[in-house]
Structure 1
Amino acid sequence: MARFFTLEQAQQLVPEVRRMLNEAVEARAELEESQQEIAECMRKAHQMGGVDLDTGRLVLLRKRVDELGKKLKEILDQFEELGIQVKDLNIGLVDFPTKYRGEEVLICYQLNETGVGYWHGLDEGFRGRKRIDRDFLDHHEGDLVH
């Protein structure tokens, strides 16, 4: 079921979205760092014919990768349950579906922004962001489920 947000609803969710995005961005960065360390350990071990393999460290790293993967999945599931679309964890970008002049569009929020202030069409993406103006305010709808 799609949920459509009003601008006010999206704005009210920004503090929670910011917290969740910060956690997701951090977990993703730690996950990548741990995966890179595993790859480096394996590369070194391969070069040394397996002599320099720190299996204890690898076990800990793999456990950490599993934990971080689960944490990241839980956060992404929370976004999905709220009806918020995660677009890019590199820059902390999410979209809130809404309707504008009868068409589905997206209210856009990026982690470094103080609140929601942009929107774009479904096919326009981040580069097509437009400032929320009076026309948008007068002609957008939320609170619908279909």
Structure 2
Amino acid sequence: METRYFSVEEANELLADIEPLMERLLERRTKVVESRQQIYQLLAAGNSDFGGPAASELAQDFMVIERLARKIRSHGCIIKDLNNGLVDFLSKRDGREIYLCWRYGEPRVEFFHELHMGFKGRQHI
């Protein structure tokens, strides 16, 4: 597969597709995290009804999360952190590879970081 490099403009244009997908993914992730306590209670009680409605709903939530993540990745970007909704777009700057970096809730792609730096190394474009 050919490596895709994004310009800032291309990455920003993709946000129209990616942002609503990330919003749905984060909502579903929150639901899973909130239901975690219910699953722990079932396990602690020795309940083996893992075919019940709670387990089925949890499995469905995981499938939705995976489907949404696949849709986001299909645009050529990389999901870096589901807790914070971080997405990176491979790009080039001064002849070297970098990541353009976007976090859910930000209005546009305005940051980049070196490949090895991650979120803490973000700099304004």
Settle same-fold status: TM greater than 0.5. yes
Let me know the Cα RMSD of the aligned residues.
Answer: 1.8
Higher RCO (C-alpha 8 Å, min separation 6)? 1
| 8 Å CA contact 1:28, 1:72 repeated in 2 | yes
2:64 aligned partner: 71
Work out the CA distance in 1 between the residues paired with 2:51 and 2:59: 12
Report whether the alignment pairs 1:114 with 2:107. yes
TM-score, structure 1 length as denominator? 0.78
For structure 1, list consecutive stretches of 5 or more residues without a partner in the other structure. 47-52, 133-146
1:25 aligned partner: 26
Question: Which amino acid in the other structure matches residue 113 of structure 1?
Answer: E
Work out the CA distance in 2 between the residues paired with 1:40 and 1:58: 15
Shift, 1:110, TM fit: 0.6
**CA distances 1:1-20 after superposition (whole Å, capped 9, x unpaired):** 32111111111111221111
Work out the CA distance in 2 between the residues paired with 1:19 and 1:103: 31
Report whether the alignment pairs 1:94 with 2:87. yes
The structure whose Rg is larger is 1
For structure 2, list consecutive stretches of 5 or more residues without a partner in the other structure. none
Work out the CA distance in 1 between the residues paired with 2:70 and 2:40: 28
1:8 aligned partner: 9
TM-score, structure 2 length as denominator? 0.90
Most deviating of 109-118 and 30-39: 30-39
The number of aligned residues is 124
| 8 Å CA contact 1:35, 1:65 repeated in 2 | no
Question: Which amino acid in the other structure matches residue 22 of structure 1?
Answer: E
Runs (4+) of structure 1 exceeding 3 A deviation are: none
Change beyond 3 A, Cα 1:35–1:58: farther
Percentage of pairs with the same residue = 29
